[in-house]
Chains A and B, each alone.
Chain A
Amino acid sequence: MTAILLPVVNGVAFAMLLFIVASGLTLIFGVMRVVNFAHGGFFALGAFLTFTLAAGARLPMTEFALAAVGASLICAALGMVIEVVVFRRIYHLSHTDSLLATYAALLILQGSLTLIWGNKPRSQPLPADFGHAVTLMGVQVASYNVLLIALGLLVAVFLWAVLIHTTMGRMVRAVASDRTMSAALGINVDLVFTGMFGLGVFLAGMGGALASPLFQLDSTLASTLVLESFAVVLVGGVGSVLGALIAALLLGLLNSFLVAFDPVLADFSLYIAMAAVLLLRPTGLLGSAAMESR
């Protein structure tokens, strides 16, 4: 039982972190139809801003939460500025032609980390009440992992409620499915784009904030988790938040079991599994065929 439960908890915790980052990516992808390489840059920025706002100290939970929310909001604000200044000019390009622009944005963000925080790696301690293990059905699991699982589920429920059950959510889905028709019906498409970009980047920043106690903070953080997030988005189906949740859980659990039983084969099997899903279902688990081409 112990041998099963521990990898499950750790896997689900990693999956939730991955989901938070990937859900932002899939929203941007699904609504604006742009492959946003800069997402990893915002993830790293969220982690570094949390470090600065928390002054690198072991804070009580409430203060750490404030730092994390502050960092995510700064990311979102910056993201909206970048959307208006840069991304708005590249939506008319194809997926591949806009790569250079989003890649440039990633490099700029990554370079800013070095400009602001220098080359020295930093580290952010866990919040004070979460440094210990809790006993769950007779198994010792890290309490921070339990927090990650709770927050991931919260984000999932929040996105589902907003996208499915609010007028704003309906507008977003309308724009995602046909932006010209939506504009004709009086929806302010530009505003929806900027807002969704802000939300997507907020989620990237939040992922970074939550990951800040788990990773060493240096500029390579910008390419950490990006690949996995893209995998989650495509395996789940582009634009599908529920798909991203399922895919994150699958990849997270697979990874955690493989690492527990055979670390050498872990990476290899993960990529092969990902390839297998995409070959069997090119549109992803919950994707629609409309997104495949273009």
Chain B
Amino acid sequence: MGSQGIHSDLVSVPQNRPLLVALLPIPVAFVVGVALVGNTSQLYFWTTVAETVLFALSVNLLFGQTGMLSFGQAAYFGIGAYTVGLLASHQVNPLAMLALSSLTGGVAAALIGAVTLRTTALVFAMLTLAFGQALYSVTFHLQAVGGENGIVGIVPAGLGGIDLGQPRILWVFTAVVVSIGAFFLWMVSRSPFGRALRMIRDDATRAEMLGIPVFRYRLFAFVLSGAIAGLAGGLYAFVQGVASPDSLFWTTSGEPVIISLLGGARFFYGPVLGSVIYVAATDTLSQMTPAWIFWIGLGFLIVVLLSPDGILGGVHRLWLRYGTRALDGGRRRAR
């Protein structure tokens, strides 16, 4: 994609299959490398990053690609976590548990989406928030799911004799599940359906006029996002060993939105970059100073003032200004 690409196509990727296949060994080598040489805290760090990436990507399918700000995605994330939490003591196959997490997240999203999607923009954000908080207060008060402490001490059952409680194995397992989920979302984003979503984001009225069933597509995106958020929540329960009301709280919904904005919400890989930076920054700074929130805030502010469309947005603009010029020998004027 050159500098002439239209705005709506920013999220698309080069149509260069051999290149992508050639690049594939890099993430595979990374996963294996971390598994081989990582110590316990590094393994925990990257496992947390991976699970955050999946949640952020699911939220960004709505936020960055469809232009819908939901402040209630923690509900589906939390439902996924609780699904695993309730099943874990019954020795259920981990893959079946994750499939069920995804299913419960998707079903909840379908029910809530059918109601909330009658509105748009900020009212939609507030409605998703309201329903999310309503579910939060249910888990908080319901003693059957552990009340305000939630379900603790979740240990995934073995997968055909492999012990998932082992940090190294849990990392590889998480990395594989997240990669499959991310690949699925990437395929969705590249599909005609994904293009239609970006069209709805850029101009919903025009999309409707051109025959795109806007409500149905938005609902479908909402359900997909909820299902993947449920999957991410299930992984969270494996990794952290808990399913608590906190995972349904509205601040948990805000985190992936901030992560997407930080990395660049209009780019498919924005949430991936955002997650790595966010988890690394909170992890490092919170060990250094009790006022770590101050420095995180300052960092975000600098990013947003320098580049309102996130880090990848800034990189993209620099590329359009200097990179393409270098490639074309300065013949093509940068936009």
The 8 A CB mask of B87-126 against A (1 = contact, 0 = none) is: 0000000000000000000000000000110111111001
Given A271-B131, A292-B121, A97:B297 Cβ within 8 A: no
Asked if B261 is at the interface (CB within 8 A of a chain A CB), the reply is yes
Interchain CA distance A213-B134 in the complex, whole Å = 29
Given A86-B301, A227-B250, A275:B134 Cβ within 8 A: yes
Once the chains bind, are A105 and B290 in contact (CB under 8 Å)? no
- Residues of B near A227 (CB, < 8 A) are 129, 133, 250
Asked if B19 is at the interface (CB within 8 A of a chain A CB), the reply is no
Asked if B173 is at the interface (CB within 8 A of a chain A CB), the reply is no
Asked if B298 is at the interface (CB within 8 A of a chain A CB), the reply is yes
Q: Identify the interface centre among A104, A108, A115, A264: most chain B CB within 10 Å of its CB.
A: A104
Once the chains bind, are A114 and B133 in contact (CB under 8 Å)? no
The interface size of chain B toward A, counting residues with CB under 8 Å, comes to 47
Asked if B69 is at the interface (CB within 8 A of a chain A CB), the reply is yes
How far does the Cβ of A1 sit from chain B's closest Cβ, in whole Å? Answer: 30
Once the chains bind, are B297 and A108 in contact (CB under 8 Å)? yes
Once the chains bind, are B69 and A96 in contact (CB under 8 Å)? yes
Beta-carbon nearest neighbor of A293 in chain B: B121
How far does the Cβ of B176 sit from chain A's closest Cβ, in whole Å? Answer: 31
- Residues of A near B308 (CB, < 8 A) are 90, 93, 97, 100-101
Interchain CA distance A118-B289 in the complex, whole Å = 11
Given A90-B308, A234-B122, A279-B119, A107:B293 Cβ within 8 A: yes
Interchain CA distance A109-B304 in the complex, whole Å = 17
- Residues of B near A231 (CB, < 8 A) are 126, 130
Once the chains bind, are B133 and A271 in contact (CB under 8 Å)? yes
Asked if A137 is at the interface (CB within 8 A of a chain B CB), the reply is no
Asked if B44 is at the interface (CB within 8 A of a chain A CB), the reply is no
Once the chains bind, are A268 and B257 in contact (CB under 8 Å)? no
Asked if B300 is at the interface (CB within 8 A of a chain A CB), the reply is yes
How far does the Cβ of A167 sit from chain B's closest Cβ, in whole Å? Answer: 31
Once the chains bind, are A105 and B127 in contact (CB under 8 Å)? no
Q: Identify the interface centre among B258, B261, B299, B310: most chain A CB within 10 Å of its CB.
A: B261
How far does the Cβ of B225 sit from chain A's closest Cβ, in whole Å? Answer: 16
How far does the Cβ of A86 sit from chain B's closest Cβ, in whole Å? Answer: 7
Interchain CA distance A129-B299 in the complex, whole Å = 45
Asked if B294 is at the interface (CB within 8 A of a chain A CB), the reply is yes
- Residues of A near B127 (CB, < 8 A) are 275, 278-279
- Residues of B near A114 (CB, < 8 A) are 290-291, 293-294
Considering the complex, which residues of chain B in the window 262-304 have a beta carbon less than 8 Å from any beta carbon of chain A? 262, 290-301, 303-304
Asked if A99 is at the interface (CB within 8 A of a chain B CB), the reply is yes
Asked if B206 is at the interface (CB within 8 A of a chain A CB), the reply is no
Asked if B309 is at the interface (CB within 8 A of a chain A CB), the reply is yes
Overall SS of chain B's interface: helix
Interchain CA distance A104-B304 in the complex, whole Å = 9
Asked if B13 is at the interface (CB within 8 A of a chain A CB), the reply is no
Given A100-B262, A101-B301, A105-B297, A294:B121 Cβ within 8 A: yes
Asked if A274 is at the interface (CB within 8 A of a chain B CB), the reply is yes
Considering the complex, which residues of chain A in the window 143-196 have a beta carbon less than 8 Å from any beta carbon of chain B? none
Beta-carbon nearest neighbor of B67 in chain A: A96
How far does the Cβ of A227 sit from chain B's closest Cβ, in whole Å? Answer: 6
Beta-carbon nearest neighbor of B262 in chain A: A100
Q: Identify the interface centre among B63, B129, B296, B297: most chain A CB within 10 Å of its CB.
A: B297
- Residues of A near B290 (CB, < 8 A) are 114, 118-119
How far does the Cβ of B255 sit from chain A's closest Cβ, in whole Å? Answer: 10
Beta-carbon nearest neighbor of B293 in chain A: A111
Asked if B137 is at the interface (CB within 8 A of a chain A CB), the reply is yes
Given A100-B300, A271-B130, A219:B123 Cβ within 8 A: no
Once the chains bind, are B122 and A95 in contact (CB under 8 Å)? yes
Interchain CA distance A275-B118 in the complex, whole Å = 12
Given A96-B69, A271-B137, A234:B297 Cβ within 8 A: no
8 Å CB contact of B122 from A35, A97, A104, A107: A35
How far does the Cβ of A22 sit from chain B's closest Cβ, in whole Å? Answer: 13
Once the chains bind, are A115 and B121 in contact (CB under 8 Å)? no
How far does the Cβ of B70 sit from chain A's closest Cβ, in whole Å? Answer: 11
Considering the complex, which residues of chain B in the window 229-270 have a beta carbon less than 8 Å from any beta carbon of chain A? 250-251, 254, 257-258, 261-262
Asked if A72 is at the interface (CB within 8 A of a chain B CB), the reply is no
- Residues of B near A4 (CB, < 8 A) are none
Beta-carbon nearest neighbor of A267 in chain B: B137
How far does the Cβ of B108 sit from chain A's closest Cβ, in whole Å? Answer: 15
Asked if A56 is at the interface (CB within 8 A of a chain B CB), the reply is no
Interchain CA distance A95-B261 in the complex, whole Å = 13
Beta-carbon nearest neighbor of A230 in chain B: B126
Asked if B210 is at the interface (CB within 8 A of a chain A CB), the reply is no
Interchain CA distance A89-B303 in the complex, whole Å = 13
Beta-carbon nearest neighbor of A86 in chain B: B301
Interchain CA distance A95-B63 in the complex, whole Å = 12
Asked if B180 is at the interface (CB within 8 A of a chain A CB), the reply is no
Asked if A224 is at the interface (CB within 8 A of a chain B CB), the reply is no
Interchain CA distance A107-B291 in the complex, whole Å = 10
Beta-carbon nearest neighbor of A97 in chain B: B308
- Residues of A near B300 (CB, < 8 A) are 100-101, 103-104, 107
17 pairs from A and B in contact (CB 8 Å cutoff): A90-B308, A96-B63, A97-B261, A97-B309, A100-B310, A101-B304, A103-B254, A105-B301, A111-B293, A111-B294, A112-B294, A118-B290, A231-B126, A234-B126, A264-B141, A271-B130, A271-B137
Q: Which 4 A-B pairs have the closest CB atoms?
A: A111-B294, A107-B297, A104-B300, A108-B297
- Contact residues of B with A, CB < 8 Å? 63, 67, 69, 115-116, 118-123, 126-127, 129-131, 133-134, 137-138, 140-141, 250-251, 254, 257-258, 261-262, 290-301, 303-305, 308-310
